[in-house]
Chains A and B, each alone.
Chain A
Amino acid sequence: MSAPSPEIRAASRTDAAEPAAALHAPTGRSWRMLLEPVVILVVGAAWMLYVETSDLDSIEERSLKPRYVWQKTWEHIELTLVSTLIVLLIAVPLGIVLSRAWARPATPFVLAVANIGQSAPAIGVVVLLAVLLGIGFWTTIVALVAYGVLPALRNTMVGLQQVDPDLTDAGRGIGMSPARVLGRVELPLAAPVILAGIRTTLVLMVGTASIASFISGGGLGDMITTGVTTQRTPVLLTGCVLIGLLALLIDWLGGVATRLLAPKGL
């Protein structure tokens, strides 16, 4: 049980030998999974302590009230989750379609458009969109989505492309319909890569959502802007630290989700 891999290798030589079962055990080391949230908690607590103990003037006091900080954090989470959700609703189905043999000619065009979305500077896009669509939450979402589609799309396509063609052939050969091959073979086997794409998108969105502040979209970006314009470093830094911690937290949650959702046996 303790060292399955050499036994499995040995077993492949003689048909009769039995490899030890090990795949059902949770993969990876569990203490590592806990390291990240512990770091997040420690840094968060240390920062709160620092803010509590330092002398604050009235402007800083107002900007660092727990209710206000929590409201900005929540707005930030909303921006992240809504934009990620929309990105996924666009990118995953699009990635699936583009990985079909009949859609292959369209792939370069779609990728070019997605590339433009990502390579255009997010700040420029958000301002431009504000001129066209007006300011606020939804305009920010549009800009974030344009920015975030490419990584999720890429991962979906790569995930599906790296599925062993022998396995899709086997699926077809034993009588699976194309839809069943997709649902039972391709998507489960691509799941780890697609999930990694979703994780990347979430983290990307947490960071980029700060630009919402420029067009009154809310979020922790407001604290940074306030900190800069009023020259109050504690406010500015609180915004930065919170965004950083949020990104780490979401990345960790994404990691946990990937572990839980990825199919066994891979």
Chain B
Amino acid sequence: MSEARSDPPPGGATAAGPPAADDSRGIELINVTKRYPGQRTPAVDDVTMTIPGGEIVVLLGPSGSGKTTMMRLINRLIEPTSGKIIVAGRDTLGLNPTELRRHIGYVIQNAGLFPHMTVATNVGLVPQMLKWDRDRIAARVDELLELVDMDPATFRGRYPRELSGGQQQRVGVARALAADPPAMLMDEPFGALDPITREHLQDSLLRLQEELGKTIVFVTHDIDEALKLGDRIAILDEGSRIAQYATPKEILLDPADAYVEQFVSGGQMMRLLQVSRVADVPLQSVPEAAPRDDAADVLARIRAGKTGFGIVLDERRRPVRWIHPEDLDGVTGPIGTRGMATATPIRARSTLQQALERLIQIEHDWVPVVGPRDVYQGTVTLGTLQNALREMKDRGRVRRRGTADA
């Protein structure tokens, strides 16, 4: 046990990047209906839906759309009237519901921590029910608290009342992850938090997910939260009719019907900025040079390009300086350290919104974009973003007209 407590060696599962989508960990709903006695219309009406393994799927809809009901059907807190639900390759209806729920993480609004148990006891509940031994549970609790950015020594002995709302919800997520379930259900987990904390926790969840690759069903009524977190979004109408089930971008660019449109209308472009990444847009190419390149050579390259200037990269292809023809007047031999330092680069993983913000704030019109290890990928200007957005919008319009004609 003492050996097992040491940290996993670097280059283990985490360094291998996010686990690939895996159908064996996904969730499938097949013709699922839930009818409550005494109600004419079913709460969930013949829903068929596949939630791919390792993805975050957001169920988005107004209250009364049956999104929570749909989620609770998955871990059988609500029994379906008919239909079939398959979680990680196993038919849930053939399993003992209590047993099933121990293998599906469950996070609710306000965290639902038991106030009379310490943080450690709360987090260790599922492992305890699975009859892990005491040392293993204690080790796992500490590991999980670290994972959700809470210092185990400080927090393990505290009671939920002694934590802030955000901290409680972190512990709630840790509790859901305790037995390393393949799937997690999250029912408006951040709904009761103040906007700053909520944003914080959303980021934490995305970072966690990058590492863990769980299959997550996330219920919310907040379109922005859905767009931010979801790999896919299912927009639900009354009776859990799935109005559209698609990626955030598709939903913004190509709403399936008037209902979806009404959901995303208003600030559509701003939202598009939030869900698109710099890596997705065509970048400007600028003539490239290295410090030891010959000045005449570089000058020729700049003349051949359309921008009228070039960018100097260091030996690891990290952007360092802009170089203009004036800088090279009368220079022979290597260009060395001539030119003007570039602005801090924008990362390719940033959203267009973040990029836009940078571009507006700084004095430079041109900002280099870097990928992993700060390697130069291209250059971005306000115009680049404008064009990219216009193009996305046009493509959406064409597609919509296409479907309308069909």
Which A residues fall within an 8 A CB radius of B? Answer: 8, 11-15, 17-19, 21-23, 166-167, 169-177, 180, 184-185, 188-189, 263-266
Contact = CB atoms under 8 A, between A and B. Distances in A.
A265 B112 contact: no
B167 A15 contact: yes
Contacts of B126: 174-175
9 contacts: A12-B194, A15-B201, A21-B158, A172-B101, A173-B185, A175-B99, A175-B102, A189-B114, A265-B160
B406 interface: no
Interface of B: 75, 77, 98-103, 106, 108-110, 112-118, 125-126, 129, 154, 158-167, 170, 175-176, 185, 194, 196-197, 200-201
A23 B125 contact: no
Contacts of B100: 175
Contacts of B175: 174
Contacts of B109: 166
Contact of A265 (B101, B115, B154, B166): B115
A113 to B, nearest CB: 30
A130 B194 CA distance: 66
Nearest to B101: A175
A14 B160 CA distance: 16
B129 A170 contact: no
Contacts of A180: 129
Contact of B164 (A17, A23, A167, A170): A17
Contact of A12 (B103, B114, B165, B200): B165
Nearest to B100: A175
A174 B102 CA distance: 5
When A and B form their complex, which 9 residue pairs have the shortest distance between CB atoms, in order from nearest?
A170-B112, A175-B102, A265-B159, A15-B166, A173-B106, A263-B116, A175-B101, A12-B164, A11-B164
Contacts of A166: 108-110, 112
Q: Identify the interface centre among B113, B161, B185: most chain A CB within 10 Å of its CB.
A: B161
Contacts of A188: 116
B98 A167 contact: no
B115 A174 contact: no
B176 A174 contact: yes
Contacts of A23: 159, 161-162
Given A18-B154, A173-B106, A174-B125, A185 B162 contact: no
Nearest to B102: A175
Contacts of A173: 75, 77, 101, 106, 108, 112, 185
Contacts of B112: 166-167, 169-170, 173
B114 A167 contact: yes
Q: Identify the interface centre among A175, A184, A264: most chain B CB within 10 Å of its CB.
A: A175
